[in-house]
Amino acid sequence: MSTSFSKAPFTNGTDGWRRVRWIVTTHFWFKCFGTMGFTFVFLMAYVYVLKHPAYPVTIVPATILDRLIAVEPLALPFYLSLWLYVSLPPMLMTTRQTIVEYGKWIGGLCLVALTIFYFWPTAIPPVHVNWARYPGMAFLKGIDAAGNACPSLHVATAVFSWSWLNRRLPELGLGRGARIFSACWCAAIVYSTMATKQHMSLDVAAGIDLALVFVWTFNMAGQPISGIVGRQYQPDYSVVEQES
């Protein structure tokens, strides 16, 4: 016996937002504590690798693009918003199985990057900027050293999250606008890594490449049911279960 799920068209955008609220509250605490636990473990590993690289640090060269992109304080909120953006995919799942499965994939992406950082540590070149002119940016420089540069994990995790959201948002019935907003948000995060001078353009390119490798592998491996639809869905949301 196999089970598949199909969705009837939504009558209006309100149904889509009702669906989002229902999804977010499903296994809410599992999602929250799971995300916090994952983030804590990742940050511990990230800081350890940053402080204990296996080999001397390589400086990533700046390109013409890096010289064209000036320091932009307004990019800081977008840089910090990564932590919210990468939390969206698990928050939009309805089963613990799919949340854990997704965690394995993005955890694998982070593990590959951390392995690269350990055996090939990199950092950006000195940036001749008076950070005292930018208090928020100076704070960022104090808590987030510009090491573990290439590939940019900031970019890799953002692009991987964007790929998942781009495929799944239509299932929420939110329309093209939600996908465009997600793409713009992801692009702003990518841009912010260079505008805050946390990464060079080569770091960004490598981060995008790493994400695309995992996106391709993720799709080829065949991910489980997204978790946006499931057996517990209410008939009001136009989800029909079909068995054969």
pLDDT reading at 3 higher than 80: no
* Confidence at 25, pLDDT banded by 50, 70, 90: confident
Rounded percentage of the chain residues whose pLDDT exceeds 90: 46
Q: Taking residues 36-41, report their average pLDDT.
A: 92
pLDDT in tens, 61-75: 999 999 999 888 899
The answer for residues whose C-beta is within 8 angstroms of residue 196's C-beta and 6 or more apart is: 71, 72, 75, 76, 79, 137, 140
Q: DSSP for 81-120, please give it.
A: THHHHTTHHHHT---HHHHHHHHHHHHHHHHHHHHHHHHS
Paired tokens of 46: 């990230």
Classify the C-alpha dihedral 226-230-234-235 as positive or negative.
positive
187, 182, 224: which is closest to 93 by C-alpha? 224
Q: Give the global pTM.
A: 0.80
- How many whole angstroms separate alpha carbon 58 and alpha carbon 113? 15
Q: What is the pLDDT of residue 176?
A: 84
Q: pLDDT per residue over 194-217, tens digit each?
A: 999 999 999 999 999 999 999 988
Q: Which range is least confidently modeled, 1-5, 11-15, 104-108?
A: 1-5
Under DSSP, the state recorded for 200 is -
Q: How far apart are CA 134 and CA 162, in angstroms?
A: 30
**pLDDT at position 206:** 96
Helix, strand, coil shares, percent, the chain, to 5: 65, 5, 30
Length of the chain: 244
Q: Could you tell me if 192 and 78 are in contact, meaning their C-beta atoms sit under 8 angstroms apart?
A: yes
Confidence class for position 154, pLDDT limits 50, 70, 90: very high
Residue 155: its H or E element: helix 153-168
* pLDDT above 60: residue 46: yes
Condensed to tens digits (0 to 9), the pLDDT of residues 77-132 reads 999 999 999 999 999 888 888 899 889 999 999 999 999 999 999 998 888 777 77
The predicted structure's pLDDT at residue 14: 56
